[in-house]
Structure 1
Amino acid sequence: MEVIQHSIDQNNQGERIDKVVSSLNKDWSRSLVQLWIKDGHVKVNGEVVKANFKCPLDASVEISIPDPEELDVEAEDLNLDIAYEDQDVIVVNKPKGMVVHPAPGHSSGTMVNGLMHHCKDLSGINGVMRPGIVHRIDKDTSGLLMVAKNDQAHEHLVNQLVEKTVTRKYTAVVHGNIPHEYGTIDAPIGRDPKDRQRMTVVDNGKKAVTHFRVRDRYEDFTLVECELETGRTHQIRVHMKYIGYPLAGDPKYGPRKTLPLNGQALHAGTLGFVHPRTGEYMEFHAELPEEFTKLIARLENSR
């Protein structure tokens, strides 16, 4: 482990420690440095600090650069559906039923296992188990995800998510008939205090905003397009339940007796972002999977 010493001068006085450290080496992205700080690899005057710590004049900064970790995620040929790829970004159309990254109980068959086989160059900001992963969608949600192939691209894409400039549109089938054509759900989301495996709308949750538009109505269901302004865990599923129209097939947030589906009827069909190198806005579209189109046909026939 390499250790680097740095002294705070008048040019850095009062600046955040993550900004100071990331400025010392062009290869150290802000997100990477924040991970080091979180893991205790950055100290100021011998003390572990937080990323927003303001540096005093003449303070001594010690940076212990962790040795590169060997990826222990097994590469698997999963025949990923790659919608786009260049030297910085991969856009993957994830099938329903696939977990995005390894976790307890899901050590293989994940999108990351497939990415490790497809491409050896992935950003390391999120650590060994989530290389390149900028954002996620649930196991039983299908559709588009952007993946970073280097740390600079990763940080650029994450900043776009933070600034709410990424376009993310989903198609969903929900229970009930929504009477109005469009709407916005602005309700904070956090862990359900009664069930830590579920999310819910809570006063002290994180800000969450979902816009929706009705695309079609059936006898007991509505086809909607939801656009994310924020990206909280299970956001669309929680928000649609909150307003009384839970997703069809949702085992966690929907009614028990529903359509014969393996998981919620939710598809991330549109993804748009500014390319981290060229500055060009790019938008991608993924057709509805076969199960989803069959569901819509069935609902149309029932009218």
Structure 2
Amino acid sequence: MTEHTVPAELAGKRADAVVAGISGISRSEAAGWLSEGRVTWAQYRTQGREAGAPVKKSERLPEGAQIAIDEPDPVDLSHIEVEPVQDLTLLYEDADLVAVHKPVGVAAHPSPGWRGSTVIGGLLAQGVQITTSGAQERRGIVHRLDVGTSGVMVVAKTERAYSVLKEAFRNRTPTKIYHALVQGLPDPHEGTIDAPIGRHPGHDWRFAVMDGGREARTHYRLIEAYVRVSLMDIRLETGRTHQIRVHFAALGHPCAGDLTYGADPHLAAELGLTRQWLHAVELGIDHPVSGERLTIRSEYPQDLAQSLRLLEE
């Protein structure tokens, strides 16, 4: 248990942001510590708080407030669980990189609090050698897909490929195409959503369109309109967390099945969806060694394909 004084640069921010800033951890991890009661008031008289009382994650902390943080023992991520991952299939492989179809429910790499399967562990189980560049638990990872999103993902096998691909994604040179089934019919049927995205002020695991957020641009066009939903072709110019889900929810057209962002649960049940209908269908990259343009595609997984069949009946 260590005591800290809220510095001026963090004054007035929510407790989860303050704890993240003080401890050098992510805001979501800080929110977890607060929920577990690991952050308490050490001294706080202006609002009558008693020492030892838990700090609420939504409270805004003034400069000079004294808090105590009971940091959990660090999670050892140096060991990656090597285990086969069902439906993790290789789409392309050479000496420098490997592209896979990432199934839903699989994380890109190990992280604190995640106990499920990972792309890295699945590749190692298949005998694919991956570069040791990057943090040990993230080796070879040059971009990520959310756990609840399926589709194309590329992993570096060599140090050179890792360096070149990381820079490419940082400079937004890859082409990232997604297909999404959204509720309703967006009007216009083709366009660009240009709206900044930030962490939702009232929900730890959600994001929202908001002033002061990071720039985010999503280009879209209609593929096919059904009675209550529309299949969209989407190209990401930026790659913010939950960007497609947040942008279409802000338009009033959340991804079908995406209950986190306001999708209709009855429609999700009718379509047999237990997650958002969102798939990374195509990734275009310049090969990190030859410079050749590679276009890699991933077919819809069974759950998403089945929902389309139900719409067409």
Greater Cα shift, 229-238 or 200-209: 200-209
2:260 match = 252
1:294 match = 306
Q: 1:32-69: per-residue Cα shift (whole Å, max 9, x none)?
A: xxxxxx9xxxxxxxxxxxxxxxxxxxxxxxxxxxxxx9
2:279 match = 267
Deviation at 1:166, TM superposition (A): 0.5
Question: Following superposition, which runs of at least 4 residues in structure 1 exceed 4 angstroms of deviation?
Answer: none
TM-score when normalising by structure 2: 0.70
Q: How does 1:124-273 map to 2 (within 5 A)?
A: 124-257=132-265, 258-260=267-269, 261-273=273-285
Q: Could you tell me which amino acid in structure 1 is paired with residue 93 of structure 2? A: E
2:114 match = 106
Q: Aligned with 2:205: secondary structure?
A: strand
Of 50, 72, 78, the residue aligned with 2:79 is 72
By percentage of residues, which structure has more helix?
Answer: 2
Greater Cα shift, 258-267 or 74-83: 74-83
Greater Cα shift, 241-250 or 98-107: 98-107
Counterparts of 1:242 and 1:125, CA distance in 2? 38
* Structure 2 gap segments, 5+ residues each: 1-23, 25-75
Q: Decide whether the 8 Å contact of 1:246 with 1:253 is kept in 2.
A: yes
Greater Cα shift, 199-208 or 139-148: 199-208
Q: Decide whether the 8 Å contact of 2:77 with 2:111 is kept in 1.
A: no
Q: Decide whether the 8 Å contact of 2:184 with 2:230 is kept in 1.
A: yes
Q: Could you tell me which amino acid in structure 2 is paired with residue 275 of structure 1? A: H
Deviation at 1:120, TM superposition (A): 5.8
TM-score when normalising by structure 1: 0.73
Q: Aligned with 1:259: secondary structure?
A: helix
Counterparts of 1:250 and 1:126, CA distance in 2? 32
Deviation at 1:226, TM superposition (A): 0.8
Counterparts of 1:117 and 1:71, CA distance in 2? 16
Q: Decide whether the 8 Å contact of 1:74 with 1:116 is kept in 2.
A: no
Identity %: 40
Deviation at 1:148, TM superposition (A): 0.9
Q: How does 1:75-94 map to 2 (within 5 A)?
A: 75-78=82-85, 80-94=88-102
Indicate the RMSD between aligned Cα atoms, in angstroms.
2.0
Q: Decide whether the 8 Å contact of 2:222 with 2:231 is kept in 1.
A: yes
Deviation at 1:118, TM superposition (A): 2.9
2:13 match = none
Q: Aligned with 1:197: secondary structure?
A: coil
* Structure 1 gap segments, 5+ residues each: 1-37, 39-68
Q: 1:212-266: per-residue Cα shift (whole Å, max 9, x none)?
A: 0101111111110111111111111011111111000012113352322111000
Counterparts of 1:75 and 1:162, CA distance in 2? 29
Counterparts of 2:172 and 2:134, CA distance in 1? 20
